[in-house]
Amino acid sequence: MTVHFLDTRGQRCPQPIINLAKFVLTIDENDSVEIVSSDPAAEFDIPAWARLKGRACSAPRSSRDGISPPSSNSFEVWFTVGPR
Partner 1 sequence: MSSNQEPLAAHNQSGRAQRVNLDAGGNARLTTLGRTAYLQALDDGWADHRRLHHEGRRARALYDGAREAVASVLGARTDEVFFAPSPTAAFHAVIPALLAGHKRKGNLVVASRIERAAVLNALEFSNATEHLVTVDERGFVDPDGFSAAVAQPGVAFAALQQANHEVATLQPLDHAREACTKAGVPLLVDATASLTHVAPPTGLWDALIASPADWGGGQGVGVLALKSRARARRVWPEDQDAWFPGGASLPAIFAAAVTLQEAESLRKERAQLHTELIDSIRRAAALLPDTEVLGDPFNRLPHMCTFSCLYVDSEALMAQFDALGFAVGSGSACTSASLEPSHVLAAMGVLTHGNVRVTLDWDVTREQVARFVQVLPQAVAQVRGEMGVTGL
Among 33, 42, 44, 32, smallest CA distance to 76 is for 42
Interface with partner 1, residue 44, by CB under 8 A:
yes
Residue 50 Cβ vs partner 1, minimum distance, rounded to whole Å: 11
> Which of 14, 60, 70, 83 touches partner 1 (CB under 8 A)?
14
The answer to whether 57 is a known catalytic residue is no
Residue 76 Cβ vs partner 1, minimum distance, rounded to whole Å: 14
Rg (alpha carbons) of the chain, rounded to whole number: 12
CA dist., res. 77 & res. 2, Å (int): 21
Catalytic site positions? 13
